[in-house]
Structure 1
C-alpha cells in the first residue's frame, strides 16, 4: 500500500510540475509576443509621424 501511495504522490508532483512548467512557458511566450507587438506599434507610429512631418515640410 505504501508503494502505491508514493507512486501516486510522485505522479501528482510530476503532473503539477508539468502544468506549471507549461504555464510558465506560455506566459513567457505571451510576454515576448506582447513586447514584440509594442515595439512594432511604436516603430510604426514613429514612421507615420516622420512621414507626416516630412510631408508638411516638403
Structure 2
C-alpha cells in the first residue's frame, strides 16, 4: 500500500521516499536540480546537496 509522505525539503526525505523519487518519479524533481546532472537524478541531488552545504545556494531554492 503506498504511503503518503510530506516534508519541508528534499534533505528531510526519509530514505525510502528519496529512493522512490529518484528511481520511480524522477520527473517530479525540479528542473533546476535535474539540470545539474541531466539524466541522472542521484547525481543531480548529490551536486545540489553539496552546493547547498557549501553555501552556494541561497534564497528560496535552499528550502527545496
Of structures 1 and 2, the one scoring higher in RCO (CA 8 A, sep 6+) is 2
Q: What is the TM-score normalised by the length of structure 1?
A: 0.28
Q: Tell me which structure has the larger Cα radius of gyration.
A: 1
Larger helix proportion, structure 1 or 2?
Answer: 1
